[in-house]
């Protein structure tokens, strides 16, 4: 059954929320929701996609690991994707994990050997060793593309720049966690306090902030440590039989491995380890947020394989989040770019999970009603990991009898326009559009943001000033700013003004997809913008398309089509676009020729089931990159792509010596090609 409109809208909404929180977590180190909430969003999206398979897109964040990297470091394409872990929050969820493992391995009545490891609260890194030398270190980024942080990692004394002995493979990757031990964190903050500098909120932020320094001398002065826990690229024939043997080998080569790691037997062993480590947690010299259980035998890991984001052979068993009680002083309403109103609880300051908490997002009216949160209420606040807190529940026995229910304002707090709530939708919206100063400001921020027009240096405070002083009305006005205009602003020197003018100039050469995304059309996120750009090729063609034509495009349903049509029908929007183009905004990729691309001339054969995308999607991506997908293997085949349960094509390709790409390598090749990289012949 095709997905109804409501499901399609919900999936779009969930995807945008997940992408937003991915970016907050992975790129900005400023998470806004708990892990559990995040997990809930991903689960809801997966459930929806499972119910309506036509909603599945290859780029859905249910299939990705995180967010794209910051641009200040050179990008690194991971040859083997860096995965994340599924979470378990209760013993029941671990029990279900163990059951799934045994069922898949057909070992129903046998105890599986697991390796149990503390889950460190740091930053995952991948270390590439060639000939025993550390040649590159990268962050995870979005799992496919990370950031090159080699110079910084080389300053961490515990990470060997040269391995010990000679028994290691010629070229391989070690994966593990960079973290800041508690004592180092305490001293770092003490020094910062004494010098009147800003302190770090917690060791994870401190580790992330330290690793992401462009000046590695700063990193060198930070007390960072590292534990290795796994592999990326590694020759199959050098792999030991079990994960604990690998950890022993890594240690022998000089790589630090957490001393708390233990081999355990079956579910009971996992849960006993969890209880034991929970008791030890307060005295450990580093912060951990749970335990990772991994099926130890690599042959089993291979059999179990992966789901899109995470391996089936491992799970993170998270410690319960810290909770505290405080009072709701007020519930305020914030207005977002699309006019969505978000209630936010202002709280009496309370110390929980290592930070003082003063507010918590309440998401939407449904959430406030469901939890029945009222001004003046005493509430339980939870802060899990490194995220802003949530209100878990109200303590109704402490409620004042006259406490009124929260009501969403009927008019926008920023502009007074009518607030609309569509029946069946959780979100209330200001109807003021760009007339609303809050929406207007958010729209300009969005236009300038890194993944849109990428105007370096145009931050929130500057945008506030530009609007307050009426130097900017529409986004097109940004391109008419002069250095003199900018120099008149607070905290803007000549150099910064010139830099911003240069950044505006640079941003004029964009791509059609980025430009479309930057326009901020409702429900047109980055992926939809890319699809539109690929399908139509030119802005004129998109602007001329009616909703029927738009809906003929893959992944564009009636709601999104209607938003696009409405957007381009408005003369004010067409005017802004005309002014932007007149100011020099252009996209050199508009004339890209179909059939040309980094995979042109390459013939691919697909066999077996790919885990991360439907076959049609693989075909489309290859063809978009200029490659060809053919049905049978011959000596003219460039690559055989092998998924689960491959057919006879596999052996034929082997006999002909055709290069075989397993799924991770295939994805890496696509990612490299899509990022504009070259593909080895
Ligand atoms: N200790 C540990 N942490 N951690 C994190 N092991 C481990 N393994 C991970 C992650 C993300 O991932 C692999 C299982 C893929």
- pLDDT tens readout for residues 284-334: 999 999 999 999 999 999 999 988 668 999 999 999 888 899 999 999 999
Q: Which atom of ligand 1 is nearest to the CA of 83?
A: 15
Long-range contacts (CB closer than 8 Å, 24 or more residues apart) made by 671-679: 671/77, 671/144, 671/145, 672/77, 672/598, 673/597, 673/598, 673/599, 673/625, 674/621, 674/625, 675/75, 675/77, 675/145, 676/598, 677/77, 677/598, 678/598, 679/598, 679/599, 679/602
Q: Tell which wins on pLDDT, 119 or 666.
A: 119
Query: Could you tell me if 460 and 449 are in contact, meaning their C-beta atoms sit under 8 angstroms apart?
Result: no
Q: Ligand 1 center to residue 558 CA distance, Å? A: 41
Supply the pLDDT for residue 58. Answer: 54
Query: Could you tell me if 30 and 24 are in contact, meaning their C-beta atoms sit under 8 angstroms apart?
Result: yes
- Which is catalytic among the residues 119, 294, 318, 649? 119
Q: Tell which wins on pLDDT, 413 or 601.
A: 413
Cα separation, 311 vs 302, in Å, equals 10
Q: Which atom of ligand 1 is nearest to the CA of 258?
A: 1
Burial environment of residue 104 by CB neighbours within 10 A (0 to 12, 13 to 18, 19 or more)? middle
Supply the pLDDT for residue 482. Answer: 94
Give yes or no: 119 in active site: yes
Q: What are phi and psi of 5, to 5 degrees?
A: -50, -40
Q: What are phi and psi of 645, to 5 degrees?
A: 50, 55
Q: Which of 200, 205, 201 is nearest to 178 (CA)?
A: 205
Res 383 pLDDT > 90: no
Cα separation, 33 vs 412, in Å, equals 25
Query: Could you tell me if 358 and 391 are in contact, meaning their C-beta atoms sit under 8 angstroms apart?
Result: no
Supply the pLDDT for residue 60. Answer: 63
The 10s digit of each residue's pLDDT in 452-501 is 998 988 988 899 999 999 999 999 999 999 999 999 998 888 888 988 99
387 — pLDDT class (breaks 50, 70, 90): low
Q: Tell which wins on pLDDT, 658 or 61.
A: 658
First to last CA, the chain: 43
Res 593 pLDDT > 50: no
Question: How many residues can be counted in the chain?
Answer: 681
Supply the pLDDT for residue 65. Answer: 40
Q: Tell which wins on pLDDT, 440 or 681.
A: 440
For the residues 85-92, what does the mean pLDDT come to?
93
Supply the pLDDT for residue 445. Answer: 94
Q: Ligand 1 center to residue 639 CA distance, Å? A: 31
Helices (H), 195-285: 203-211, 216-220, 243-252, 266-280
Res 25 pLDDT > 80: no
Contacts of 610 (CB under 8 A, 6+ apart): 618, 641, 643, 644, 663, 666
* Residue position matching structure tokens 């009124």: 404
Q: What are phi and psi of 124, to 5 degrees?
A: -75, 135
Q: Ligand 1 center to residue 516 CA distance, Å? A: 37
Give the dihedral sign, CA 655/621/676/128. Answer: negative
Q: Which atom of ligand 1 is nearest to the CA of 177?
A: 3
Number of CB atoms found within 10 A of residue 240's CB: 12
For the residues 527-555, what does the mean pLDDT come to?
90
Query: Could you tell me if 54 and 84 are in contact, meaning their C-beta atoms sit under 8 angstroms apart?
Result: no
71 — pLDDT class (breaks 50, 70, 90): very low
Q: What percentage of residues in the chain have a pLDDT greater than 90? A: 49
Q: What is the pTM of this model?
A: 0.54
Ligand 1 site residues, Cβ closer than 6 angstroms:
83-85, 117, 119, 124, 177, 229-230, 292, 294, 311, 314
């Amino acid at each position: 059954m095709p997905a109804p409109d409501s499901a399609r809208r919900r999936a779009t909404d969930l995807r945008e929320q997940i992408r937003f929180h991915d970016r907050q977590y992975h790129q900005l180190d400023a998470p806004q929701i708990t892990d559990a909430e995040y997990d809930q969003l991903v689960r809801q999206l997966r459930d929806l996609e499972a119910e309506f398979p036509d909603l599945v897109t290859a780029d859905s964040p249910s299939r990705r690991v995180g967010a794209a990297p910051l641009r200040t470091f050179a990008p690194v394409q991971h040859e083997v994707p860096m995965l994340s872990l599924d979470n378990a929050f209760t013993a029941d969820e671990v029990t279900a994990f163990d059951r799934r493992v045994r069922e898949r391995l057909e070992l129903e009545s046998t105890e599986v050997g697991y390796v149990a490891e503390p889950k460190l609260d740091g930053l995952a890194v991948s270390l590439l060793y060639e000939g025993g030398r550390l040649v590159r270190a990268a962050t995870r980024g979005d799992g496919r593309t990370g950031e090159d942080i080699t110079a910084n990692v080389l300053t961490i004394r515990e990470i060997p720049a040269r391995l010990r002995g000679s028994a290691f493979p010629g070229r391989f990757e070690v994966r593990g966690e960079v973290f800041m031990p508690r004592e180092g964190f305490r001293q770092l903050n003490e020094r910062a306090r004494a010098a009147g500098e800003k302190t770090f909120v917690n060791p994870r932020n401190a580790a992330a902030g330290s690793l992401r320094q462009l000046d590695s001398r700063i990193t060198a002065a930070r007390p960072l440590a590292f534990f290795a826990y796994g592999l990326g690229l590694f020759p199959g024939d050098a792999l030991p039989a079990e994960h604990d043997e690998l950890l022993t080998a890594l240690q022998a080569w000089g790589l630090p491995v957490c001393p708390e790691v233990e081999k355990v037997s079956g579910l009971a062993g996992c849960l006993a380890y969890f209880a034991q480590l929970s008791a030890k947690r307060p005295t450990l010299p580093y912060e951990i947020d749970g335990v990772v259980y991994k099926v130890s035998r690599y042959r089993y890991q291979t059999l179990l394989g992966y789901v899109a984001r995470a391996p089936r052979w491992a799970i993170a068993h998270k410690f319960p989040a810290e909770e505290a009680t405080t009072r709701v002083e007020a519930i305020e309403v914030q207005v977002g770019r699309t006019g969505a109103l978000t209630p936010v609880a202002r709280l009496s300051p309370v110390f929980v999970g290592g930070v003082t908490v003063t507010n918590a997002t309440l998401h939407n009216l449904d959430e406030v009603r469901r939890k029945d949160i009222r001004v003046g209420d005493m509430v339980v606040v939870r802060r899990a990991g490194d995220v802003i807190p949530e209100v878990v529940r109200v303590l109704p026995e402490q409620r004042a009898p006259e406490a009124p229910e929260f009501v969403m304002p009927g008019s926008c707090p920023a502009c007074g326009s009518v607030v609309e709530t569509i029946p069946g939708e959780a979100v209330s919206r200001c109807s003021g559009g760009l007339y609303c100063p809050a929406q207007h400001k958010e729209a300009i921020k969005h236009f300038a943001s890194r993944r849109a027009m990428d105007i370096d240096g145009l931050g929130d405070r500057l945008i506030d000033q530009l609007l307050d002083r009426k130097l900017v009305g529409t986004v097109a006005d940004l391109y008419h700013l002069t250095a003199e205009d900018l120099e008149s602003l607070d905290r803007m020197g000549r150099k910064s003004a010139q830099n911003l003018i240069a950044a505006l100039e640079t941003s004029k050469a964009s791509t059609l997809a980025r430009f479309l995304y930057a326009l901020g059309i409702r429900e047109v996120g980055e992926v939809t913008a890319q699809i539109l750009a690929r399908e139509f090729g030119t802005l004129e063609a998109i602007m001329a398309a009616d909703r029927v034509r738009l809906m003929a495009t893959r992944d564009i349903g009636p709601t999104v089509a209607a938003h696009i049509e409405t957007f381009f029908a408005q003369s004010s929007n067409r005017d802004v676009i005309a002014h932007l183009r007149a100011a020099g905004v252009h996209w050199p990729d508009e004339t890209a020729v179909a059939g040309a691309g980094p995979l042109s001339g390459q013939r691919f054969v697909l066999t077996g089931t790919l885990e991360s995308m439907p076959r049609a999607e693989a075909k489309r991506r290859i063809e978009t990159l200029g490659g060809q997908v053919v049905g049978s293997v011959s000596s003219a085949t460039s690559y055989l792509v092998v998924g689960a349960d491959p057919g006879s094509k596999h052996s034929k390709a082997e006999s002909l010596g055709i290069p075989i790409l397993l799924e991770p390598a295939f994805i890496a090749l696509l990612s490299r090609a899509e990022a504009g990289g070259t593909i080895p012949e």
